[in-house]
Every structure is written in structure tokens, then in C-alpha cells.
Amino acid sequence: MIIRTKHWFLFLLTATVLLALLLALRPAAVQVSVSEIQAGYFAETIADEGRTRLRDTYTISAPIDGYLHRVELEPGDAVQAGQALLTLEPAPTPALDARSLEQAREQLSAAKARLLAAEASFDSSEQERRYTEQEYQRHQGLQQQGVISATQLERLRHEWQRAQAAERVARAAIDVARYEVENARALLAITDGSRSGDARILQVLAPVSGLVLQRHRCCEGVIMAGAPVLTLGDLHQLEVQVDLLSADAVQVRPGMTVHLERWGGDTTLQGLVRRVEPAGFTRVSALGVDEQRVPVLVSIESNPELWQQLGEGYRVEARFVLWQGDDVLSLPTSALFREQRQDAGQTNDQPGWAVFVAKNGKAELRFVEIGRRSGLVTQLESGLQSGELVITHPPASLQSGDRIQYSRRR
């Protein structure tokens, strides 16, 4: 009896040691994270950064060369249509150096001399005209008496007309000389470069009501025609420009819903695609890659009171809704991977989409059919049921049937 009990004891001890060895040598459970398959709202979207802009801006420039008075308006100031924005006066006369001043004096003296010469020439022309007129009148009577021929009288009449024309030329030369004298005197009138100080003031008025967006010039001084001074705009016309990749822009249509996020406020603003520009451009990305971008303009449809702090050139994140549904099964995109599918001992040429499902503490391989994608979430068409748990970011070494320990992620 004692021998039989001893045998049983050795048997139990050996079984216990073997069981402990089996448990020690068994592979440990793989630590994974899982996510539950749920049905709910799903939207296929395209997201990209954009910036706010005004549909219409007005750049106020100097219409003529002149002297600009100091601009008191500052960025953010409200203006009304018809309000005076800029004040211009004629530019100051340039100062003359000693050489230019002496030349101006000599030009005045020369102009006076030409005036005297023109007056003398006029006196001579006037005397010649009077003489030819008297000769013509005297010979006219002789021709009536038959003393001279009509040809001689015609020649005298012609000389009289030439004398009249020469007198008119001389009179015009006097006017020209007088203008030259006045011009030379005007050049000498202001020699120190001072402002004219006359009352010929030009005011530039605001074309529309709005706000001052930029002030390009504030201080007074000489300004050239066409130089920008102020930029005006109405913030109620604010919209968003998003430069999408051309491959994404072809999927966007006018009237599509756009969610404007991460603009600095607590709410998501709603917008609509107003226009997709027909021409794209090339932009170099941060990685140095040439990208073809297309400007897409989005109108803000939310109440202006929600985004009254937005201004021109502010950054926003736009999410374009291409498709949406209310009762759609979806799963995390990180749970999907490609796997060669075998059906009835035959291998398909194209690998299919698969996931690992957490079931009874083990990983189970499951092939699925997917639909639309939206960033981190993908639409599920078949292969899984609502409530099942899929493994996200499965390790490369994970095989179907392996033991797992998981933590659920939301």
C-alpha cells in the first residue's frame, strides 16, 4: 500500500512538472489594441489648408503726381462711401542751384531781348504794310484813268497782301516773345524748393464703405501717380481660398458642403464651394516636390456673428464633403492590410483586404470588402458585423489563431 501511494505521488509530481514546462514554453499573448465596428454617420472628405480672402478689394492710389498730406487712417478704421481718404496738392517747385539760377537769369535777359527784336520787326512790318496799301490805292485811281495796266495794279495788290501777312507774323512773334519772358520769370519766382501753398487741393474719396485693410503710405511727401496708399475692403464679403491638389480638385463641384475647422473659434463653420478655378499652378511642397494646385473658392454660410474675428489672410482648415451617409458601417483604416486570398485551394492573383478580428482571446483572419475612404476611417461593405472587434495596427508577426490581450480604443 505504501509502495502504491508512492507511485501515485511520483506520477502527480511528474505531471505537474510537465504542465509547468508546457505553460512556460507556450508563446505569450500578443498585446494589441482593438476598435469596435459601429454603424453611424460617415462622410468621404478631402481636407486641406486654406486662407481667408476678400472677394473684392479696392486699392486707393494717387491719381496724379503731387504732394501727399499725412494719411491719418489706420488699418481697421471704418470708412464710408464718399469719405475723403487722401489729400494732394501740386508738387513743390524744385530748388535751383547757383549755376541753374544764373542760367535762368540769362534766359530771362535773352527772352527780353527777343521781345524787343520782335517789337522792332513788327514796327517795320507795319510801316511796309502802310506803304504798300497807299501805293495800291494811288495806282488804283490811275488804272481807272487808263494810265497803268490791270497787271501792274494786280502786282501792287499782291505786295500789299504780303505786307499784311508779314505784319501778322510779326505780331505773333511779339506774343511768343512775351510768353518766353513770363516763363523765364516764373522759373525765377521760386528758387528755394518751397511748396506752392495755393488752394488747388485734390481729395480722393472712398469708392465704397468698408474697412482699411492696409496702409501702404502714411507720411506726407511727394508721391508719383499710381503709387498705392490704402487698400479697402468689406469683411462681410470674406471667403476662403483652398489650393487643392489637382487630383482632388477634379472631384469637387460648386455647391458642395465644406466644413471650416481649426480657424481659432470654438465652432465649425459651414461653407459652400462657390467656384473651382479652371487653371492650376505649380507649387513646391515642404519636401521639395512640385505639386499641381487648383484654387477652390468657398463662401462662408454660417452666421457672421460666429466669425466676426476673422480677417483677410487668416488660416483655416477646410474639409470638403464628397459623399455622406447616416447609417454606414465603418472601421479604422489602420486595421486594414493586404493578404493573399485562397478559395477552395486556389490562390487569386490579386490580394484582398483583410483584418484581424479579436474573438475568444485569439486573432482571427477575416477578409472584407471596403468602399469609400475618409482619412482614418474607411467604409465597410461586407465581411464584418456591427459590434465585432478589429485589431488596429496589427503586428507583422501576428498570425490567425494567436493568443492576444487587447485594450479597447475609442
CA distances, 66 to each of 58, 120, 145 (Å): 21, 42, 73
Predicted pLDDT of residue 277:
94
Handedness of CA 386, 389, 392, 395 (dihedral sign): negative
304 shares a domain with 280: yes
In this predicted structure, what is the pLDDT of residue 246? 94
* CB neighbourhood size of 209 (10 A): 13
Query: Is 318 in the same domain as 366?
Result: no
Give me the chain's average pLDDT, please: 84
Question: Which own/partner contact pairs does 340-348 have at CB distance under 8 Å and 24+ positions apart?
Answer: 341/367
CB-based contacts of 96, cutoff 8 Å, min separation 6: 104, 187, 191
Distance separating alpha carbons of residues 274 and 267, to the nearest angstrom: 22
Task: Verify that 142 and 187 share a domain, yes or no.
Answer: yes
- 34-68 burial: b if 16+ Cβ within 10 Å, else e: bbebeeeebbbbbbbebebbbeeeeebbbeeebbb
User: Is residue 209 domain-shared with residue 83, that is, in the same domain?
Assistant: yes
- The CATH number that applies at residue 34 is 2.40.420.20
pLDDT band, very low/low/confident/very high, at 241 (cuts 50, 70, 90): very high
Average pLDDT over residues 159-188: 85
| pLDDT value of position 398 | 83
Burial 291-309 (b: 16+ CB within 10 A, else e): eebbbbbbebeeeeeebee
For residue 278, is pLDDT > 70? yes
Query: Domain containing 84 — which CATH number?
Result: 2.40.50.100
Per cent of the chain over pLDDT 90 is 31
Residue 289 maps to which CATH number?
2.40.30.170
Direct distance between the N- and C-terminal alpha carbons of the chain, in angstroms, rounded to an integer:
63
Does a structural domain hold residue 77? yes
Q: What is the pLDDT of residue 239?
A: 94
Q: Could you tell me the three cell numbers for 164?
A: 499784311
**Residue 174 placed within a domain:** yes
To the nearest 10 degrees (0 to 180), the angle between helices 150-189 and 98-145 is 160
Residues 171 and 213 in one domain: no
Q: Which of 56-60, 148-152, 180-184 shows the lowest mean pLDDT across its residues?
A: 148-152
340 & 313 share domain: no
pLDDT digits (tens, 9 = 90+) for 313-348: 999 999 999 998 888 888 888 888 888 776 555 555
Question: Is residue 220 scored above 70 in pLDDT?
Answer: yes
Same domain assignment for residues 287 and 359 = no
Same structural domain for residues 358 and 401? yes
Mean pLDDT value across residues 306-312: 89
Cβ 139 vs Cβ 153: under 8 Å: yes
> Same domain for 212 and 254?
no
Instruction: Give the domain-ending residue among 326, 344, 367.
Output: 326
Model confidence at 408, pLDDT cuts 50, 70, 90, reads: low
Give the integer Cα–Cα distance in Å for 156 and 143.
Answer: 12
- From 308, 392, 390, select the one nearest 357 (Cα to Cα): 390
Give me the pLDDT at residue 127, please. Answer: 87
Q: Domain span at residue 156? A: 97-192
**3-state SS record for 94-131:** CCCCHHHHHHHHHHHHHHHHHHHHHHHHHHHHHHHHHH
- Domain count across the chain: 4
Whether residue 25 has pLDDT greater than 60:
no
Residues 6+ apart with CB under 8 A from 119: 174, 177
Question: Do 317 and 252 belong together in one domain?
Answer: yes
Statement: residue 69 has pLDDT above 60: yes
Residue 123 has a pLDDT of 87
Q: What is the pLDDT of residue 102?
A: 78
pLDDT for the residue numbered 20: 66
Q: Are residues 390 and 321 in the same domain?
A: no
pLDDT tops 70 at residue 199 = no
Verify that 84 and 209 share a domain, yes or no. yes
Pair 61, 228: CB distance under 8 Å: yes
* Distance of alpha carbon 244 from alpha carbon 280, whole angstroms: 9
